Structure 1
Amino acid sequence: MGNCQAVDTSRIVIQHPNGKDEIFSFPVSASYVMKLNPGHCVSLLISTTALSTATSGQGGPLRLTRIKLLRPTDTLVLGHVYRLITTQEVMKGLMAKKCSKLKKEGKVSEDKLEMVKALSSNKLENEVQMKKQEKERPLRISRSWQPSLQSISEGGSS
């Protein structure tokens, strides 16, 4: 049996949210992958191990996986595993991080945090509806101009 997270060093593995794996055997840019998968961001999976004494009585190593979002200008490197994340999930994560930071600093009350969360969820819903409307919009088919020619009868009966 093999490790499902094991990576061949000569390939780039991109994991889709639906479980599908896409494999590239050459370096590609993050913007290329984002163009192939609209509405998604590329993230790098970073695995680390830490000693855990508080969570389990065994005191064995604990494997932690962090996710780092990539910029569109970044190049995907051979031998790494990347994951596609929807932009909605990214926005939710950023808003949660911002709210927790403001809450920790004590600058914002609970009421204002709830209001910020509500506004961000409405913004995400609006973005989703805009994308749906763009997809449902009828496509305009352009036709080239064609002359309307009427037949002319020849007058030879005089």
Structure 2
Amino acid sequence: MGNCQAAEAATVVIQHPGGRVERQYWPMCAAEVMRSNPGHYVALVTLCFSEDENKQDSSGVRLTRLRILKPKDTLLLGQVYRLISSQEVTRALRERKYEKMRRSHADMINQQQQQQQQHLQQQVAEQERERQKSSHSGAKERHWRPTLQSISEVVKADQFT
């Protein structure tokens, strides 16, 4: 008995933007597909499962990741590929660049705030050390000692007689 689905697994599946599915029964170069579909890139479709750590019985969230292929890459049998328009690619690259800039800007602001906080903590610690230093070392010197000049009393002998 033969396996009728074995031939289906040995195909290159190319999904077009309009929903049409193209099957090729031999490996081919990505440049050939891009030539026959101008204005489109070929992307490898990869399924990822994100597991939620809080829920142990859940099967996770299914994510589809796309990796854009270079024209010299070969489309392999058994893989699924998707055609993506060049506008979608430029939009995605722009969004990625914007996200990267936003994240780096947020990191820079966070780093500056941490530096300011450390600087303030150092100043407070130094002021505390100065206060303790002056109170300990100056404690002996701060006692009030009168510096009165002595008054001499002259006693006349004839006053007591």
Distance 1:102 1:66 in 2: 22
Report the Cα distance in structure 1 between the residues aligned to 2:33 and 2:74, rounded to whole angstroms.
Answer: 10
Instruction: Write out aligned runs for 1:4-153 (5 A).
Output: 8-53=8-53, 59-106=58-105
By percentage of residues, which structure has more helix? 2
User: Identity over the aligned pairs, expressed in percent?
Assistant: 39
2:145 alignment counterpart? none
Deviation at 1:60, TM superposition (A): 2.6
Which amino acid is the alignment partner of residue 9 of structure 2? T
CA distance in 1, matches of 2:91, 2:62: 25
Secondary structure of the 1:84 match is: strand
Q: What one-letter code is carried by the residue in structure 1 that aligns with 2:94?
A: M
Q: TM-score, normalised by structure 2?
A: 0.57
Larger of the two Rg values belongs to structure: 2
How many Å separate the matches in 2 of 1:11 and 1:73? 19
Residues 53 and 60 in structure 1, CA contact (< 8 A), matched pair in contact too:
no
Tell me how far apart the structure 1 counterparts of residues 32 and 64 of structure 2 sit (CA, whole Å). Answer: 25
- Alpha-carbon distance in structure 1 between the residues aligned to 2:58 and 2:25: 39
* Secondary structure of the structure 2 residue equivalent to 1:106: helix
CA deviation vs aligned residue, 1:57-101 (integer Å, no higher than 9, x gap): 963322211000000000000000000000000000000000110
RMSD value, Cα: 2.0
Q: Which amino acid aligns with 1:76?
A: L
In the TM superposition, residue 48 of structure 1 has moved relative to its aligned partner by: 1.6
Q: Distance in 1 between matches of 2:75 and 2:56?
A: 39
Retained in 2: the 8 A contact 1:15–1:84? yes
Provide the rounded CA distance (Å) in 1 between the counterparts of 2:41 and 2:79.
Answer: 16
**After superposition, what is the alpha-carbon deviation per residue over 1:22-81, rounded to whole angstroms, capped at 9, x for unaligned?**
110001100000000000000000112221246x79633222110000000000000000
Kindly tell me the number of residue pairs found equivalent between the two proteins. 100
Query: Structure 2 counterpart of 1:97, which letter?
Result: R
